[in-house]
């Protein structure tokens, strides 16, 4: 069963309930953020970089520490092209299932992996997107205590179940508005289609007058 039709409803409820997370940018602006979860991947991430470079677009990547350690040269290529880097945990474990100690270690291990690959200091990498979007008030309280910034989403086309490139593109175009925070995946689940998806999606969004910014710019 696909849950894509429910995400816009869930988004509106959670946005009101947890206003200190980044759910979207300024709705009166044409600035939107294109984000990619679950990488870096040795095959899919370079394909994404090629498309982004073609259109001179800067995106944001939320990384798994284990994947950074497996593909440090890909991580460095992302960083060297000026894209924004965030955390997605060391492994793709749901944050509410982890103890406070385990969660802290997961984030810090990922920061270490990013430092080793990209020479980005831990304080430069403090945006966190929970895997599967799962969090609790306790999770958010810990983020605040540890000086991390929770980054969520406003457009989720559920590309990880691979409904087809045309379906993912259609879902994004139907939901995108000013300030949208779009979630795609360049990892094992969904990464097979992501380059083809953004090849179609980016020109159409540019034609509609949208400008692509990073998550950091949305925070501002």
Give catalytic status of residue 93 as yes or no. Answer: no
Give catalytic status of residue 37 as yes or no. Answer: yes
Evaluate whether 153 touches 23 at the Cβ level (below 8 Å): yes
Exposure pattern of 41-54 as b/e (b: 16+ CB <10 Å)? beebbbbbbebbee
Question: Strands, E, within 20-125: which ranges?
Answer: 31-39, 60-63, 84-87
Task: State the Cα–Cα distance between residues 34 and 61, nearest whole angstrom.
Answer: 9
Task: State the Cα–Cα distance between residues 219 and 197, nearest whole angstrom.
Answer: 26
Active-site choice (41, 83, 88, 185):
185
Q: What radius of gyration do the chain's Cα atoms show?
A: 16
Task: State the Cα–Cα distance between residues 38 and 93, nearest whole angstrom.
Answer: 11
Active-site choice (37, 38, 159, 193):
37
Please list the active-site residues.
37, 185
């Amino acid at each position: 069963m696909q849950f894509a039709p429910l995400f816009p409803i869930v988004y509106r409820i959670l946005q009101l309930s947890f206003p200190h997370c980044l759910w979207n940018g300024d709705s009166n602006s044409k600035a939107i953020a294109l984000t990619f979860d679950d990488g870096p991947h040795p095959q899919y991430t370079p394909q994404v970089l090629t498309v982004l470079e073609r259109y001179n677009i800067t995106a944001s990547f939320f990384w798994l520490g284990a994947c950074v350690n497996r593909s440090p040269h890909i991580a460095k290529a992302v960083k060297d092209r000026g894209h924004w880097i965030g955390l997605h945990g060391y492994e793709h474990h749901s944050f509410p299932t982890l103890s406070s100690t385990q969660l802290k270690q997961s984030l810090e291990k990922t920061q270490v992996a990013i430092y080793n690959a990209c020479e980005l200091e831990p304080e430069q990498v403090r945006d966190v997107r929970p895997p599967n979007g799962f969090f609790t008030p306790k999770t958010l309280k810990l983020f605040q205590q540890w000086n991390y910034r929770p980054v969520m989403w406003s457009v989720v086309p559920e590309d990880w179940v691979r409904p087809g490139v045309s379906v993912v593109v259609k879902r994004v175009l139907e939901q995108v508005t000013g300030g949208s925070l779009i979630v795609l995946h360049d990892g094992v689940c969904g990464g097979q289609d992501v380059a083809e998806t953004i090849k179609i999606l980016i020109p159409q969004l540019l034609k509609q007058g949208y400008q692509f910014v990073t998550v950091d710019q949305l925070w501002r």
